[in-house]
Structure 1
Amino acid sequence: MTWHVSDDLREGYLGGGLDPALAMSVETHLARCAACRAAVPYEPEWLEESWRRLEARLVAPRPGPAERLLARCGVPAHLARLLMATPTLSRAWLAAVGAALAFAVLAARVDPAFVPAFLVAAPVLPPAGIALAYGPRVDPAYELLAATPLAGARLLLTRAAAVLSTAVVLAGAASPLLPAPPWLCAAWLLPSLAVTLACLALSRLVRVPLAALAVTGLWLAVAGAAGFAGDWVSAFAPAAQIGYAAAAAVLLLRLRAARTRGETDTG
């Protein structure tokens, strides 16, 4: 040994005043130096536990701003970490969605004839995000998470809620910029909720990407039929909104009943 634990260093170590890196250095020395161990209370079991605590403190990933914000809003730490690991909520996906919405708004401001394009596209964002957030082909941690209590329907619903909330916030921020009446700018909200719940309900029967593709096709067919009839506003009129709300309520009840029975999706 070329050095030994000094009196000041030993007092700081025993008093818990050393920073983690210096404390680990002292403990490494204690493990090899019998002379210093004689002057310091040394228990192998305690040392191993201390190493584990220090390693967890030094190696554990630090939460990002979004994860800290979720924690401050009351979201449990493990759930906040899971949501931030959702593939769909990556910066690339958020940037792509933001760019698509911005392009739709700009096109509508240049020519109001493009307002329907925004209203039709907004409800498609959540199921597309869900398809990219869940499943073995898109989530690198899918097999690892499959062995946890959050696996199955609970994980799908958690990530779906995160994707839906994010898509609604982005589309909601863009809606006031549309050259259209306020009621029409918000007319995509109920269709978006109904389409998302339909995707989740159908995912109990088929894989999530197929469910998202099916409900997206159905929604585009509904909106397209109104457009071909020359009255695209009818797809967002009050009568249609009542239908979307009723469909969303029925689908939500079915999902709650399925979860109560312990059914899981086919992921």
Structure 2
Amino acid sequence: MTGWHAPDDLVTRYADGSLAETDAWSLEKHLERCGPCAARVSHAARAGAAGPVLAEVRDAVLAAVLEAAPATAAVPAARVRTAPPAASVPDRAPAAPRAPRASGGRLTRILWAAGPAVRGAWTGAVLLVALGAVALAYGGGGAGARPLLLALAPVVPVAGVALSYGRHADPLHEIAASSPSGGLRLLLARTAAVLAVSAPSLTAAGLLMPSSGPRLPAGPAAAGWLLPGLALTLASLVLSGWLGCRTATAVVGGGWLLAVSAPLLLSTGTGLTAGLTEQLSLYFTGASSQGCWAAATVLCALLLAARRTAYDRLETM
């Protein structure tokens, strides 16, 4: 019992699902200690749009319990075991302490639960692309494997985000996104899991691949795509607040591929591999280009923080 009680408008917005995530979390902590406010919230939930559904669930549970009660009463008394007197219970040896769980297994479980893309076919596709590019560069003599990998690397996390969030990716998305830990927090957690898989794999593949030949211009560094990839990923998250996750990732990924391929289609003076290498060097190499990507990353992060309430019920309808 506390001296403060939730106002009526706060209770009403919590019951109909329009209360912001942070306020809902605070109210739920208050309801754990305040019986009158918990009763008011329960009454508001039953009086709202979810009231008929809650009544149907309650009736179904009661009916199942009443049906199971006669079967339980029909159990023969001989089968009911009574506990022996306390004096006859032998002393038990203390239970052995549990062995500590390995940190690697815990990290695996966290990544497994963080997003559908990480535990789906997307992770295998990322590893296949990285290993295939390395094999092509060494075994097939493909001089354009490295610039092609660097051109696709920034949109790989964007594709992972599209496969990690939304009704199409998670059968329990509506329930998870409507919880206090859903919304932007859930979206950022699954994005971090996607980046944790794609960034090391693609960067390691770029480091293992040979540099450009003597007849080709020097390409960008293997880690030059990381900041652009982060900026594009955050840009897709920002657009998700207006367009939805799949549409936003399609716009950002398609825009990047168009920005890379359009100059190559319009240019006729250089080869495909040389032109792609020059284009990526323009986008990835130098303090000015990386500074622009850093500014875009900061801007997208600020927009995410400013519009965080727009993600509380993202793709739940």
| 1:220 positional shift | 0.8
Judge conservation of contact 2:133–2:205 (CA < 8 Å) in 1: no
Cα separation, 1, equivalents of 2:121 and 2:223: 26
Check if 1:257 corresponds to 2:286. Answer: no
Higher relative contact order (CA 8 A, sep 6+): 2
| 1:67 positional shift | 4.9
Judge conservation of contact 2:230–2:297 (CA < 8 Å) in 1: yes
Counterpart of 2:207 in structure 1 is 176
* Residue correspondences, number: 205
Q: Which amino acid in structure 2 is aligned with residue 32 of structure 1? A: V
Counterpart of 2:7 in structure 1 is none
CA deviations on 1:138-187 (whole Å, 9 max, x unpaired) are 11221331342122121111111111121112112212112227952122
Q: Against the structure 1 CA distance between its residues 31 and 40, is the aligned structure 2 distance closer, same or farther, given a 3 Å change threshold? A: farther
Which of 224, 232, 242 is equivalent to 2:261? 224
Which of 81, 85, 89 is equivalent to 1:39? 85
Counterpart of 2:130 in structure 1 is 101
Cα separation, 2, equivalents of 1:226 and 1:165: 31
Ranges in structure 2 where 5+ consecutive residues have no aligned partner: 1-76, 88-100, 212-217, 268-274
RMSD: 2.9
Judge conservation of contact 1:87–1:139 (CA < 8 Å) in 2: yes
What secondary structure, in the 3-state scheme, does the structure 1 residue paired with 2:241 have? coil
Judge conservation of contact 1:190–1:244 (CA < 8 Å) in 2: yes
Identity %: 36
Judge conservation of contact 1:130–1:160 (CA < 8 Å) in 2: yes
Cα separation, 2, equivalents of 1:218 and 1:98: 24
CA deviations on 1:89-139 (whole Å, 9 max, x unpaired) are 115322221001211233334222232210111111111011101111111
Q: Which amino acid in structure 2 is aligned with residue 263 of structure 1? A: A
Q: Which amino acid in structure 1 is aligned with residue 302 of structure 2? A: L
Ranges in structure 1 where 5+ consecutive residues have no aligned partner: 1-28, 42-62, 71-79
* TM-score (ref. length: structure 2): 0.58
* TM-score (ref. length: structure 1): 0.67
Which of 186, 193, 196 is equivalent to 2:233? 196
Which of 59, 69, 77 is equivalent to 2:107? 69
| 1:213 positional shift | 0.7
CA deviations on 1:187-229 (whole Å, 9 max, x unpaired) are 2111111110111000000111111111001111222234344
Judge conservation of contact 2:114–2:190 (CA < 8 Å) in 1: no
